[in-house]
Amino acid sequence: MSAREQEFVEYVQSGGQVEATDWMPDDYRRLLIKFIEMHGNSELMGVLPEREWILRAPTLQRKLALTAKVQDEAGHSQLIYRVVEDLGKPREECLEDLISGKSKFHNVFHYPTFTWGDVGVIAWLVDAAAIISQKALLKCSYAPYARIMKKICWEESFHILHGRDVVLTMMLGTDEQRELVQEALNRWWGPLMQFHGNPIPSGDDPMFHWRIKSQGNDEARQQFLDGYVPQIWELGLTVPDPELRKDEETGRWHFSEPDWAELKHVVTGHGPKTQERLELRRISREETEWVRKIVLAKAA
């Protein structure tokens, strides 16, 4: 490592923040692009499972809230791809790599949605898991990313309220509605427990070295369990893990080991809905090609 790089590491590790125009080591830039691009991809792909339910929303209010959420998520991907663009990777290239399967997106967006129960569980618990990581990124060493996280977190907290309200309404409804939510929770629990990734000792994680991340995967999962398991129980739902319990002495949650093989399989493009959703992106990109051509021709 050169003296300049060493100085940079010391600077970020002591809490210093980096702007887009500042000098930065190539490794730092590469890792930032990869990480932030995957975040942008996830926001973009995350709208697809919910989008399917806009036309089937049970009331006008639910339709409005769901449409607003989907618009927010598409907006998050726009903001995030701009950050990647400033780091040197154009948005067009990000979209190409997403569609071709070269880059990845979060595990939870590779699964199907079967009922309105899924809509509630996704907005409440998937967004809750996401906001835990995103709140930790408010302290990211790369300042432009940390700054946009403020707006994103504010909107995510609205999504969580919307999701909780969908779930609460169904839990106060009929037995059939309650069963729908429980069935959705049963299917989502595994992917939710995989969401924050397998525990990596912070000493081995280059994301910590550059202070891109300052929260461990396991720490994020514990925070998720701490914040949401009591709420899940309060609503009368059962968490489908017989091992789940909180150790009152240490304050830590015990749970069945998440299925890491499934996580790897899914995020490498083999989820139940991966190819269908990427195909949808491919088609919409083809169909909108003429718009890009006209807009870019006029700008030139």
Residues lying near Fe ion in the complex (CB under 5 A): 43, 73, 76, 127, 156, 159
Residue carrying structure tokens 């009331």: 59
Nearer to Fe ion, 118 or 127 (CB): 127
Is the distance from CB of 146 to CB of 140 less than 8 angstroms? yes
Q: Which is nearer to Fe ion, 104 or 159 (CB)?
A: 159
Of 28 and 127, nearer to Fe ion (C-beta) is 127
Smallest distance, Fe ion to C-beta of residue 168, A: 18
Minimum distance of Fe ion from residue 96's CB (angstroms): 22
User: Could you give the residue ranges of the DSSP H alpha helices within 101-254?
Assistant: 116-121, 127-136, 143-171, 175-194, 206-209, 217-234
Tell me how far, at minimum, the Cβ of 264 lies from Fe ion, in Å.
24
Tokens linked to 143: 């300042």
Find the shortest distance in angstroms from Cβ 54 to Fe ion.
15
Q: Which is nearer to Fe ion, 149 or 207 (CB)?
A: 149
The CB-of-73 to Fe ion minimum distance in angstroms stands at 5
HSE toward the beta carbon, residue 223, CA cutoff 13 A: 17
Q: Which is nearer to Fe ion, 8 or 35 (CB)?
A: 35
CA dist 138 and 202 (Å) reads 18
User: Helices then strands (H, E): number in the chain?
Assistant: 13, 2
In the complex, what is the shortest distance from the CB of residue 58 to Fe ion, in angstroms, rounded to a whole number?
20
Cα gap 292→285, rounded to integer Å: 10
Q: How many CB atoms lie within 10 A of CB 225?
A: 20
Query: With respect to Fe ion, which residue has the nearer C-beta, 73 or 216?
Result: 73
How far, in Å, CA of 44 to CA of 191, rounded? 18
Task: Output the CA–CA distances (angstroms, integers) from residue 292 to 78, 79, 205, 282, in the order listed.
Answer: 16, 19, 39, 15
